[in-house]
Amino acid sequence: MNKPVLRPTRSFAQRAQAGFTMLEVAVALLVAGLMSWAAFTGYETVAAQQRVERGRAHAQQLQSIVRAFALRHGRLPCPAADPNGYEVCAANRQLGWFPYVTVGLELPVPELFARYAMFRAENLAVPTQDADLAVARERSLDVAGNLTFEDVSDLIVALNNASLLATVNTRPYLTGDAGVAGAIDCAGNLVVSAAYWAIVPLQEKTTAGNRFDPPHAVASLCAANPAAPLRFGSDDVVVADSPTELAGWLRQSLP
């Protein structure tokens, strides 16, 4: 009776020399594809985070500039009518682009070019109740020639007046934050008036034809609360001060 012949199993090196099977090739391609996908996904995540951090840094710079301008000039900078960077303080203009050139900044790259709004509620009949933040106006009844005539103390009066007015959609305001401040809903949740806000748009997440994501629209005076988390469909970065917040900051910054 013939005994079966035991053949030695080929080593991996021997199989490699003999050529890979179709199954082995398929597995190798699958592993390579997964590794490439993981590397690409990681790169996209890091790149997106870097864009957000860049947007936050730029927005914080704009907030510091607006506050410094207010402290020095006793008013807020007016919006620019177009992305040329020069403010336009025509009557009742509250909304436009950030006035980079007026405040001494260089124009940024397009993805960082901010939308900007500031509060205006003029009352010429009763200057002590005026809340037009675009104008350096005497509101505390000092006489011309006094050191405090039309200075930052008058802007603080205007901010206090603004804080007493109702929050309405015809003046800049903030909606919720999807948390304590409620829903991010410009039509149904008007949380607080804004002395100013600035929105840095970053990338377009919708098909609206501009970089601003919901709830932001080019013609709207509404901005999401700065405390709102970044979310799917929106990477806009918002900075803002309510009238009360800006008045408090100015008081603390006075010499």
- List per-residue pLDDT tens for the chain, 255 residues long: 555 555 555 554 555 455 567 777 777 777 777 676 655 555 456 666 777 889 999 999 999 999 999 999 999 999 999 888 999 998 889 999 999 999 999 999 988 999 999 999 999 999 999 999 999 999 998 988 888 898 999 999 999 999 999 999 999 999 999 999 999 999 999 999 999 999 999 887 665 667 899 899 999 999 999 999 876 678 899 999 999 999 999 999 987
Contact assessment for residue 132 and residue 120, using Cβ atoms and an 8 Å cutoff: yes
For residue 176, being part of any structural domain is answered with yes
Domain of residue 116, residue span: 29-253
**Judging by beta carbons within 10 Å of its beta carbon (0-12, 13-18, 19+), is residue 205 exposed, middle or buried?**
middle
Q: Residue 167: how many CB atoms within 10 A of its CB?
A: 14
Crossing angle (nearest 10°) for helices 152-164 and 243-253: 160
For residue 168, being part of any structural domain is answered with yes
Q: Residue 54: how many CB atoms within 10 A of its CB?
A: 17
Domain count, the chain: 1
For residue 13, being part of any structural domain is answered with no
Task: Phi first, then psi: give them for residue 211, nearest 5 degrees.
Answer: -80, -10
For residue 201, being part of any structural domain is answered with yes
**Judging by beta carbons within 10 Å of its beta carbon (0-12, 13-18, 19+), is residue 72 exposed, middle or buried?**
exposed
For residue 140, being part of any structural domain is answered with yes
Q: Residue 182: how many CB atoms within 10 A of its CB?
A: 14
Residue type, 201: P
